[in-house]
Amino acid sequence: MARIAIDMDNVMADIYSHYLSYYEASNGIKLDPQVLQGVPEGEILPDGAVRRFLLTPGFFRTAPVMPGSQEVIKALMEKYEVFIVSAAMEFPQSLREKLEWLHEHFPFISWHNIVLCGSKTIVNADIMIDDYDKNLRHFTGRQLLFTSPHNIHLTDYERVHNWEEVAAALEVEVPAARV
C-alpha cells in the first residue's frame, strides 16, 4: 500500500483565513485575500503579526479546516497508508494543539500515523502533499504542491488547487455530497 505524507498548515488547516481573522480581531482591519497572492507567508501582515500569531497559544487549536480535506483524506485512507506530517518543532506550544486539533477534526486518523517534526527530509513515503517547496524539494517520491497564496509562482511541481483536485490526482472517489 503506497504511503502518503500530508502536510497540515495551509493544506488540512486553513491558516491564511485564520491569519486574516486574527488580524481583523486585533486591528479591526479586514484585508482582501487577493492582496496576499504571491507574497511570502511571513510578510502578508505588517509588524511581524504572522510570527506573533503563530506563537500565540490557541492559534493552531482554533484554525479552520480546509474545505474537503476531511472527506478526501477519509477516502484516501481506503487506498493508501496516510501519515500526517507537520513541521511543528519551531513552535513548541503548537505540538499539543496540533494533536488535539487532529483528534477533533480528523478523529479517524490514529496517533500512530501522526508525525510532528522539524525538517521533513526524514520522511519516508511515496507521495507528499505540501504547500512548501522546501519540504517537497528533497522528497524523492511523487510531489503534489497544494496551492497557497505564497506558492502561486512555483512551476516545478504537479499542482493541486484544492482537495477535489487531490482526490482526482490520486484517483479516489468521494461522493459529491461529501466534498
The set of cell numbers assigned to 173 is 472517489
Tell me phi and psi for residue 93, to 5 degrees.
-70, -15
d(CA 117, CA 172): 28
Query: Which of these is catalytic: 7, 14, 130, 131?
Result: 7
d(CA 99, CA 93): 11
**Which residues in this chain contact its own copies in the complex, by CB under 8 A?**
3, 5, 83, 85, 89-90, 92-93, 95-96, 99-100, 110-119, 121-125
Q: Minimal distance in Å, beta carbon 3 to its own copies?
A: 7
- Between 26 and 62, CB nearer to its own copies: 62
Q: Rounded to an integer, what is the distance from CA 14 to the centroid of its chain?
A: 7
CA angle 122, 140, 5 (to 5 degrees): 55
- Annotated active-site residue 9? The verdict is yes
Most distant pair of Cα atoms in the chain: their distance? 49
d(CA 106, CA 99): 10
- Annotated active-site residue 131? The verdict is no
Q: Minimal distance in Å, beta carbon 88 to its own copies?
A: 8
Cell 484516501, residue?
76
- Between 138 and 161, CB nearer to its own copies: 138
Q: Minimal distance in Å, beta carbon 67 to its own copies?
A: 26
Q: Minimal distance in Å, beta carbon 7 to its own copies?
A: 14
Residues recognised as catalytic: 7, 9
